[in-house]
Amino acid sequence: MAKRVDNVLFLCTGNSARSIMAEAILARLGEGRFRAFSAGARPAGDIHPETRALLRSLGYRTEGLRSKGWEEFSGGDGAAMEIVITVCDRAAREACPVWPGHPLTAHWGFEDPAAFRGPGAERRAVFARVYDRIESAVKLLVKLPIGSLGPAGLKREIDAIGRR
């Protein structure tokens, strides 16, 4: 029997920090059960330098990560998503496209570290704190028995992760 692999898309407005972190974390922790993607409603065009620096300091390869628009995934040409998670409140309020395949959608709100204006050490601390929160949420996602929950149960569990 083929091993189930779920495609998960993390959405943010700029796709430069939170959604990029979530993509990288799930790609690492997903244990071959997940394929991680990220996109933005209005992509910044580049990954925030602090995001890239943090991920590299934690041993992530960042060469393949890029800021991109969600239209790459909303048409019929891209990979079909099983789960779409907004990771910022602004993206959650956006008029999202209709996703092919009607994936489960959820919202996990995290503060925007890219919006922080302050000294370098404080900025790095904000990025690290947001990373830790996202990592905790992704770890809970990875532990879910996705195949045995059913659509309603899976929706309930993924929504609950976002309320922690």
Vertex 163 angle, CA 162 and 164, to 5°: 95
Q: Is 12 a catalytic residue?
A: yes
Q: What are phi and psi of 107, to 5 degrees?
A: -130, 125
Residue 29, classed as helix, strand or coil, is helix
φ/ψ bin of 26: left (φ > 0), alpha (ψ from -120 to 50), beta (otherwise): alpha
Write out the E strands in 18-74. 34-40
Of the residues 8, 9, 11, 12, which is catalytic? 12
Q: Is 128 a catalytic residue?
A: no
Which H or E run contains 7?
strand 6-12
Write out the E strands in 13-153. 34-40, 83-86, 104-107
Q: Are 107 and 60 in contact (CB under 8 A)?
A: no
Q: Is 96 a catalytic residue?
A: yes
Of the residues 44, 96, 144, 149, which is catalytic? 96
The catalytic residue positions are 12, 88, 96
